[in-house]
Structure 1
Amino acid sequence: MSSIPQNYCDENELIDCVQRFFSRHHVGKLLAKCNGMKEKGVSPVSLLRYKLSNIFVGRSMYMQQRTGSFKEDFSKNTFYRFLNSAKTNWLRFTSLLAADIVNNDLKDLTDDSRKNVFIVDDSLFSRTSCKKTELGSKVFDHTDMHFKKGFRMLTLSWSDGNTLIPVNSCLLASAKEANIIGPVKNFDNRTIAGKRRKLAQTKAPEAMMTLLDTALSAGLKADYVLFDSWFSNPAQITAIHSKGMAVIAMIKKSSRIKYSYCGEQLNIKEIYSRNKKRRGRSKYLLSVDVMAGKENPIPAKIVCVRNKANRKDWLAFICTDTTLSEEEIIRVYGKRWQIEVFFKTCKSML
C-alpha cells in the first residue's frame, strides 16, 4: 500500500478551505455584480478559485504545466485572459467581499461599545524595471526617503481592534508626467479601465476619498478613519467628517497648514509654542480645541505627545470627535499599526 505524502494532504485541505470560503460568501454572486461573469465558456468563479488556491499552496500554472501536474479543464490563454480583463470592477468586488465578511462573520463577535475604524495607508510596490509596465513610475519611498521604480499601493482596511480586513486598494503612479517611465495607454474614461488609470494618476488624498466612497457604498461602516500625516489635510478631514465619520490622524508640522485657534490662524508649531505643556509622566503634553478647514470649518481637538523615538521631539494628532478624551484618542490611533503588520505579512508571504 502506497503512502500519501503529507504535503499532498495539506494542499487538498487548503483547496477545500478556499472552496468553502467561496460558498459561504457567495463569491459568484459578488463577481456577477462587478461585471466579472460571462455568458458561456469556463466560469470565472472557477478561474478565480484556481488562482487563490495556487497562492496559498505556493504553486503557479507555469510550474504545473512544466511538471505535468496541471489537471484543470481550461487553457492557459483562458486563464490569462481572465486575469487581464479590464471589464471586471475589482475595486468594488473586494469591497463587497470585505463587507460580507465583516457584516456576517465579525460584527457579532464584539459588543456595540467597541469602536470600528477604517485605516488608510500606502506602501511601496517596487519593480526592478518599468520600461514596459504601464504607468510604471519613479515614486517616493517614505521609509528610506528615496525615489524608486514601481507604484504606491494605497490600501483601505477595516478593523475592530482585533481583526483587520483589507477592503480595497489601488496602485498609484506618479501624478507628474516627468516621473512616468512606462507606456501610457489611452482609454475611454467612462469605462472601468479608464477610471482605474485615471485613479492611478490621482493624488493620494483624493484617491483615499474614492476608496472610502466605494467601501461605504458596499455596506461597510466605521466610527473613525485613521491615517498618518501624509493624508491629513484639512480639506480631507472636513470631507470625511461630512460623510458621518470622525477622523483621528497625525498632523504635518507644516507652516502652510493652519487652524483657527483663539481667533487667529496658526500652524501647529505656533500653537505648540504658545501653550504651556504638561509636566511629569503625563501621556500627553498638550491638548487644545481648534477649528479645522477654510470654507466650512469644523471643531477638532489637537493632542501633542512625546516622540518615543526622540524624547526631545513631539508628535501631534487631530481628532474631529471632541467628546473623546486625550487618552482615548491616543489609544484608538494605536489601531493604525495593524495595517503596517498587514503590509509586512503580504510582502513576506504572498
Structure 2
Amino acid sequence: MNAELLEIYSDYLLSSFGQTTATGLSNLLDGELSHDQVTRFLNRDDYDSKTLWQHVKKAVREVEREDGVLVFDDTIQEKPYTDENELVCWHFDHSQGRSVKGINILNCLYHAGGVSLPVTFELVRKPHLYSDLATRKVKRKSDGTKNDMLRQMLKACRQNQLKYRYVLADSWFSAQENLTFVRQELGKHFVVALKCNRTLALTLADKKQGRFVRIDQLSWTGQAPIKAWLKGLDFPVQLSRQVFTNKDGSTGVLYLACSDLDCDQAAIETIYQKRWKVEVFHKTLKSNAALAKSPTRRVRAQGNHVFLSIYAAFRLECLSIKHKLNHFALRAKLYLKAVRLAFDELQMLKCVR
C-alpha cells in the first residue's frame, strides 16, 4: 500500500463534509494527485484486518495493559441506492427489527486506559445466491456466521499477542461456542449480555440432571450476582441483573453473564459499561469518517473505503488523545475553520470589480 496515499485519503475523509470522490480529492490537491491515481489506489489491493493491524500496532502497544478489554459489535451502513452485490446487500438490523440494504461490518475495539483503538474487523460478504422456497425470491448467504467471524478475530488477536483480560459483547454474540472459546481456548474472561429466554441451572447437581430454568423466571432477592451454570457451558458464571428506566418511562432489564467469579455486581457493571465504547466508535465511523460518503461501485473499492474509514477513525482517536478533545469537538473545529475560510473568500470575491 502507498503509505503517503493512505495518509492523504484518510485526511480527506476526516476533513470532508460532503461526498468523498477520487475527483474531489484530486481537485482538493490542485491536481497534484490525479483522479486515476486515487482510483487505482482504491482498486489495486484488498486492505483487510491484517493491513489495519500493521498500521495500528505501534499505537496499541503504547497503551495496552493486562486488564484491557476487547469489545465486539457489528454495525450496518445503509446503502439503499447502491447496486446490490456480495458486500452491499440485505442484512437484518436488530436495532430496527428489519432487514436493510447496506454494508455489514463486525468490529473489534481494544480499550485500555481510556483509549479505544480498532484492532481487527471483518466485512460480512454474501457471495452465494439461492432461491427462498417460501417467498420464491432470490436471496444471498455468506460462507459463515458472524459468530464464526468473531472467533477468527479472537484468534488474530491471540496471534498478535494482544494483552487483555475481558471480552465484551451484547446478547447477539453470546453463543455458547463463543463463550467456551473465550474461556477454555483462550483462557480469558467474558462479560456478555444474555437474552431473557436463556436457560441455566442454579446448582451443579441441577445441571447434571438437566434441570434448567429461564433467566426471566428466577426470583431475584438482592443485588448480588448469582452463581449459575448456563446450558451448554461446562463452567459456572456470575449472573447479574440490572433494572433501568427507558426514556419513554418503561422499565427494561439487562442480564449479564461474567466468567470471572471474583467479580461482584459493581465490578461486572463497570466492566460491561466499557462496551459502550464500540457504539461511540460506530457513530464516529458514520458521522466523522465519511463511511457512507463514497459513491464507489466496485466491490473491492467499497471494501477498501470501509477500511480507510476505520483507519481514519483510528487517527481521529489519536488526535483526540493529543489535543484532549473528543471526536465531535475536533470535527467541529475543522468545520468552523472551513466556514471561516469560505466566508473570507466570499468577502474577497465581493471586493473584486
Change (3 A) 1:274 1:130: same
SS of corresponding position for 1:143: coil
Paired position in structure 1 for 2:172: 230
Residue 63 of structure 2 is aligned to residue 63 of structure 1: no
Paired position in structure 2 for 1:138: 90
Q: Deviations over 1:156-207 (max 9, x none)?
A: 00001511111121221459845999998xxxxxxxxxxxxx9x64211111
SS of corresponding position for 1:134: coil
CA–CA separation in structure 1 for the residues paired with 2:138 and 2:42: 20
Residue 190 of structure 2 is aligned to residue 247 of structure 1: yes
CA–CA separation in structure 2 for the residues paired with 1:345 and 1:266: 45
Letter in 2 for 1:219: Q
- 1:347 Cα shift? 0.9
SS of corresponding position for 1:298: coil
Q: Deviations over 1:12-46 (max 9, x none)?
A: xxxxxxxxxxxxxxxxxxxxxxxx4xxxxxxx222
Cα pair 1:138 1:174 within 8 Å, conserved? no
Letter in 2 for 1:248: V
SS of corresponding position for 2:226: strand
Paired position in structure 2 for 1:102: 60
Paired position in structure 1 for 2:297: none
Residue 70 of structure 2 is aligned to residue 118 of structure 1: yes
**In the TM superposition, what are the counterparts of 1:133-172 in structure 2 within 5 Å?**
133-160=85-112, 162-172=114-124
Change (3 A) 1:141 1:212: same
- 1:246 Cα shift? 0.3
**In the TM superposition, what are the counterparts of 1:1-350 in structure 2 within 5 Å?**
36=1, 44-58=2-16, 60-66=21-27, 69-72=30-33, 75-86=34-45, 88=46, 90-104=48-62, 106-107=63-64, 115-160=67-112, 162-173=114-125, 177=129, 201-241=143-183, 242-254=185-197, 257-262=198-203, 263-264=206-207, 265=210, 269=214, 271-278=215-222, 284=223, 287-292=225-230, 294=232, 297-309=234-246, 312-350=251-289
SS of corresponding position for 2:90: strand
- 1:65 Cα shift? 4.1
Change (3 A) 1:97 1:298: farther
Identity %: 20
CA–CA separation in structure 1 for the residues paired with 2:30 and 2:211: 67
SS of corresponding position for 1:290: strand
CA–CA separation in structure 1 for the residues paired with 2:243 and 2:261: 21
Cα pair 1:306 1:313 within 8 Å, conserved? yes
Letter in 2 for 1:152: N
SS of corresponding position for 1:94: helix
SS of corresponding position for 2:275: helix
Task: Give the structure-2-normalised TM-score.
Answer: 0.68
Letter in 1 for 2:77: F
CA–CA separation in structure 1 for the residues paired with 2:72 and 2:241: 21
Cα pair 1:139 1:150 within 8 Å, conserved? yes
Unaligned runs of 5+ in 1: 1-35, 37-43, 185-197, 279-283
CA–CA separation in structure 2 for the residues paired with 1:45 and 1:182: 41
Cα pair 1:117 1:158 within 8 Å, conserved? yes
Cα pair 1:131 1:183 within 8 Å, conserved? no
SS of corresponding position for 2:237: strand
Unaligned runs of 5+ in 2: 290-353
- 1:63 Cα shift? 2.3
Task: Give the structure-1-normalised TM-score.
Answer: 0.69
Letter in 2 for 1:306: V
Tell me the matched-pair count. 275
CA–CA separation in structure 1 for the residues paired with 2:30 and 2:139: 36
Change (3 A) 1:175 1:319: farther
SS of corresponding position for 2:76: strand
CA–CA separation in structure 2 for the residues paired with 1:342 and 1:249: 19
Paired position in structure 1 for 2:344: none
CA–CA separation in structure 1 for the residues paired with 2:282 and 2:28: 32
Change (3 A) 1:76 1:183: farther
CA–CA separation in structure 1 for the residues paired with 2:131 and 2:27: 39
CA–CA separation in structure 1 for the residues paired with 2:168 and 2:131: 29
- 1:272 Cα shift? 4.6
Paired position in structure 1 for 2:324: none
Cα pair 2:12 2:25 within 8 Å, conserved? no
Cα pair 2:191 2:256 within 8 Å, conserved? yes
Q: Deviations over 1:214-249 (max 9, x none)?
A: 122123221000000011112210111120210000
Bigger RCO (CA 8 Å, 6+ sep): 2
Letter in 2 for 1:213: K
